[in-house]
Amino acid sequence: MKKTKRFKGGFLALMTLLFAMSLTACTSEKKEEQKPAEQTQQEAAKPAEERTMILATTTSTQDSGLLDFLLPKFKEDTNITVNVVAKGTGAALELGKNGDADALLVHAKAQEEQFVKDGFGVERFDVMYNDFVIVGPKNDPAGLKTSAPTDPIAAFKLIADTKSTFISRGDDSGTHTKEKSYWKDAAITPEGDWYVSAGTGMGAVLQMAAEKQGYTLSDRATYLSMKNDLDLQIVTEKSDKMYNQYGVIMVNPDKYPIKKAEAQEFIDWILSEKGQSLIAEYGKEEFGESLFVPNAK
């Protein structure tokens, strides 16, 4: 009898222990099941980490308002903040050569192709184009609107012949590069009091031309975005020689420690159907025409 009681007592103790262990295991499993869900909720509540990149670009994309229109939409899609350094194309390319930018958006195709050929950039892509225009005072003292409405070379000859004030970008930008090609084709070395080298961006040059009642070469987008505040008119335009192509390039990540992933996302986005349609949309409502024409391949 004593053995049976001892056996029963031991059996009950063993069963109690096993039951307690079972409850503990169930509770533990429950916690394990709940933990991933709790973690997921916490992770979902955390904002995605913000990323940044540097875009070196020409002043026309900034002064025209295009980047102010595009970049917030790019950030909405990618959570990437683009820090813009707007300079002339030559200076923007130098930033790339020094590894001080992640991507470039510029408009001097021959220089861009050389930049890639020299190993500073990965590949160049067409993004969009607009055109150059010569603008000048309403009284048009050199007679460009009458005598050279579609010929920039003839227009530059008239400006030099009449020694009418001309404001040059003078900053090795894409616009300045185009201007120098016109003087070269006209076989003229511009010099004298009538020729002013400003060494600054497109917006500032347009304001200076308006103040001095002189002529200047501008991209159409920047002029249209500012024309209501300028006492200037377009006097020469719509020539094949005034085409203005923009390209985008990633700075070579094998050469510099750039933000490769962010730069690639920016390039993919601006070349995408959405990026291209936004470029086409910009300016239509306010100016009645697109300030840039997308042409990514």
Structure tokens at 107: 């408009």
Virtual CA dihedral for 120, 246, 180, 234, nearest 10 degrees?
A: -160
pLDDT of residue 287: 87
Q: How far are the Cα atoms of 63, 196, 216, 229, 238 from residue 212, in angstroms, in the given order?
A: 20, 10, 11, 14, 25
Q: Would you state the pLDDT for residue 10?
A: 54
Give the residue from 201, 141, 144 showing the smallest Cα distance to 167.
Answer: 201
Residue 129: C-alpha distances to residues 152, 271, 293 (Å)? 18, 13, 5
DSSP structure string for 159-209: HHHHT--EEE--SS-HHHHHHHHHHHHTT----STTEEE--S-HHHHHHHH
Q: Give the separation between CA 87 and CA 4, rounded to whole angstroms.
A: 98
Residue-by-residue pLDDT tens, the chain, 297 positions = 444 444 455 545 544 544 455 545 444 444 445 545 555 555 554 556 789 999 999 999 999 999 999 999 999 999 999 999 999 899 999 999 999 999 999 999 999 999 999 999 999 999 999 999 999 999 999 999 999 999 999 999 999 999 999 999 999 999 999 999 999 999 999 999 999 999 999 999 999 999 999 999 999 999 999 999 999 999 999 999 999 999 999 999 999 999 999 999 999 999 999 999 999 999 999 888 899 999 998
Phi/psi at 211 (5° precision):
-65, -40
Instruction: List C-alpha distances in Å: 149 to 36, 39, 170.
Output: 71, 68, 24
Name all domains of the chain by residue range, CATH numbers in brackets. 51-130+245-294 (3.40.190.10), 132-242 (3.40.190.10)
> What is the model's pTM?
0.79
pLDDT of res. 9:
53
**pLDDT of res. 136:** 98
How far is CA 225 from its chain centroid?
17
CB 121 within 8 A of CB 256: no
| DSSP, residue by residue, 23-35 | HHHHHHHHHHHHH
What are the b/e assignments for 154-172, b being 16+ CB within 10 Å? bbbbbbbeeebbbbbbbbb
| 224 backbone dihedrals φ, ψ, rounded to 5° | -65, -35
Strands 166-168 and 103-106: unpaired
Query: CB within 8 A of 84, min separation 6: which ones?
Result: 55, 57, 62, 67, 71
